[in-house]
Structure 1
Amino acid sequence: MDFPIIDLHCDVLSKYEREQLDFLNSPKLDVNLQNLRAANVKVQAFAIFVRPVLPKAEKIKSALRQVYYFKTYIASKENKMVHITKWSDIAKLQDDEIGAFLTIEGVDFFEGDIKMWHIFKDFGVLNIGLTWNNSNEAADGVEDNLGRGVSNFGKEIIRLNNTHKIFTDVSHLSEQSFWDVMELAQYPIATHSNATTICPHPRNLTDDQIKAMIEKKAPIHIVYHPPFIVPSGKATIKDLLNHVEHICSLGGKELIGLGSDFDGIVEKVVGLEDASCHMNLMKEMLKYYTEDDVKGFAYRNFLSHCQV
């Protein structure tokens, strides 16, 4: 069992904002090169996340620095990590190469200026979440609901995403923003969310939301953050699989993928402490699902939907 892994979310780049680390093997990084290779991770997404508390003048600087960290320390020839700028690049990866691509987790640093979308699209961003938990010029976030949903600026971003076949991420949206995105987006995705029915956290998706995702054939990637897995206490891999099974029961088996949220979380699932541990999840999955199903969860489901 040596399945390739595709992980749709980590926060390595925002950690670099606090401290320059060695991407090769720093123990301060859940996702480092050593851990990726240990778990046969074939493609890893790296989020550009700018803290909402930063002064306005600092937000765009933070985002640009994170692009610099990505290009300088991560997607380099020395690391044999290839910058994925279009989905067809994945098929061109050599056996010893790992694909890496950029995402945006909250467009606060756009500050309502659509020119920023074009700049970051040219940097190779392939997935955009309009918000983190806070609200901004584009939409309301899950913890800061102003009753607006997606603004006209956010709708402009979604239209551009549609035209350029970029995913629009629903993982941090308020419920109204979610439904606005589902109405407008041709390529919606949840990069790191679980099921509210199993764990009633506002960051998770309700059954109605999951069904809407399934209807649009939108990928749903499970997240490893314990508060999104169990209401309280330590979370086990089996607890995480309860979310997988629930999404499967609603008809979403062929849409499920992985979105660890490593380096963005402090609490960890027992046995999923860093990126080297993905195979522990695969082994547990094989107790309940066919090998073909587990390959789907690991990488194949996403590949079948990312060729948008």
Structure 2
Amino acid sequence: MNRRGAVRMKVVDFHCDALSKLVEKPAALFEDGSGAQLDVTLQSMNQGNIALQVFAVFLSENKGKPQFERVMAQLDVFRKRLVGSGDIAWLKWRDQVEQITSGGKRWGMLSLEGLDGLEGNLFYVQLCYDLGVRFMGLTWNHANWAADGVMEKRGAGLTDKGRQFVELSQRLGIILDVSHLSPSGFWELAEITERPFIASHSNAYSVCPHPRNLSDEQIRAIAALDGLIGLTFVPWFIRQNTRPVKPEDLLPHIEKICSLGGEHHLMFGSDFDGIDQWVEGLESPGCYPRLIELLLKHYPEYLVRGWTSGNALAFLEKHLPQRPSSEDM
């Protein structure tokens, strides 16, 4: 496939942190990123043919105590400034996925990167679902009311309330994200879950031994549960040494995940706007066509199409909640 074909290939990206930047800099423009130095903008999404972008609600510890009002501020930015402008269509329901496959719109979804801002209140979980959030990561790097994060030295699993959260999320149809969860929490969730979960932005630990990456056993478990793994572009999750990281350095992670049964469970979760260092030549969504060209040199087109969008869209078509009859189109 030539470059023109690569440009036309739709892309789904399961993780970015643009909302927190837009809240911090209210005058910034999502259209081109001016005023906020955004990686993910409408312009870069168009350049990269991003059919669907998952926008995470991330509450930086440097900006004060995680509180629900801070969650609501980011949800409000998404609703008013991205969807309200007409630039982004909002994906909430299973029946909408077909429109992504067939149409040319840019779509967005909402996730929570850690439950800290819900303050241990399960009513807030229900409220976030009602407000359109469809993915929730239990933790960021540290401990909270639901579980321990991957950087928490204690390394514990889920709390009692965390297990209640899992039960509620599965009743509602919220998809859980384990990218920041401790190994103990991961295996506890794998044991009690009734639904597949995702790792929205993690790579292979055996290729690059960063704590945020997934062990071989975790990769096998996610694949066995019919979940998804989002290959991420965080340079220090890709390789350890100090030389500049290039797109080619992602290939060993792809090889490893595929060798463990993950070839149909692989997608992308860039972490754009959550990083201040970038893979050379992969600094924004507009660079995806270049990455696709690289992948097509090494892998058959059907696999690359699966990784860029097919695997993620098939998952969403199966696991997003059904639209209630009372919900307007």
- The answer to whether TM tops 0.5 is yes
In 2, Cα distance between the equivalents of 1:147 and 1:191?
21
* Residue 43 of structure 2, aligned match among 13, 26, 34: 34
Deviation (angstroms), 1:55? 4.4
Report how many residues are paired: 306
The equivalent of 2:324 in structure 1 is none
Any idea what SS the aligned residue of 1:254 has?
Answer: coil
The equivalent of 1:177 in structure 2 is 185
Q: Deviations over 1:125-161 (max 9, x none)?
A: 1110010111100000011143431111111121122
Distance 1:54 1:39, change over 3 A: closer
The equivalent of 2:235 in structure 1 is 226
The equivalent of 1:75 in structure 2 is 83
Alpha-carbon contact 1:134-1:141 (below 8 Å) kept: yes
Distance 1:111 1:53, change over 3 A: farther
For residues 75-224 of structure 1, the aligned pairs below 5 Å read 75-79=83-87, 81-93=88-100, 95-185=103-193, 186-224=195-233
For residues 36-75 of structure 1, the aligned pairs below 5 Å read 36-56=45-65, 59-75=67-83
- Cα RMSD between the aligned structures? 1.4
The equivalent of 1:9 in structure 2 is 15
Deviation (angstroms), 1:115? 0.6
In 2, Cα distance between the equivalents of 1:252 and 1:147?
26
In 2, Cα distance between the equivalents of 1:231 and 1:55?
31
Q: TM-score normalized by structure 2?
A: 0.90
In 1, Cα distance between the equivalents of 2:64 and 2:270?
29
Alpha-carbon contact 1:135-1:145 (below 8 Å) kept: no
Amino acid in the other structure paired with 1:47: A
Q: Deviations over 1:66-97 (max 9, x none)?
A: 01110111123531x11111232222347331
Distance 1:54 1:24, change over 3 A: closer
Alpha-carbon contact 1:86-1:124 (below 8 Å) kept: no
Deviation (angstroms), 1:53? 4.8
The equivalent of 2:295 in structure 1 is 285
The equivalent of 1:256 in structure 2 is 266
In 1, Cα distance between the equivalents of 2:299 and 2:185?
34
Percentage identity across paired residues of the two chains: 35
The equivalent of 2:325 in structure 1 is none
The equivalent of 1:295 in structure 2 is 305
Amino acid in the other structure paired with 1:208: E
Amino acid in the other structure paired with 2:17: D
Deviation (angstroms), 1:195? 0.2
Deviation (angstroms), 1:180? 1.2
Alpha-carbon contact 1:37-1:276 (below 8 Å) kept: yes
* Residue 19 of structure 1, aligned match among 5, 17, 25: 25
1:269 equivalent to 2:279? Answer yes
Alpha-carbon contact 1:44-1:101 (below 8 Å) kept: yes
Alpha-carbon contact 1:127-1:167 (below 8 Å) kept: yes
The unaligned stretches of length 5 or more in structure 1 are none
Of the two structures, which has the highest relative contact order with CA contacts closer than 8 Å and spacing of 6 or more? 2
Q: Deviations over 1:146-198 (max 9, x none)?
A: 34311111111211222222211010011101111211221210100000000
Amino acid in the other structure paired with 1:153: K
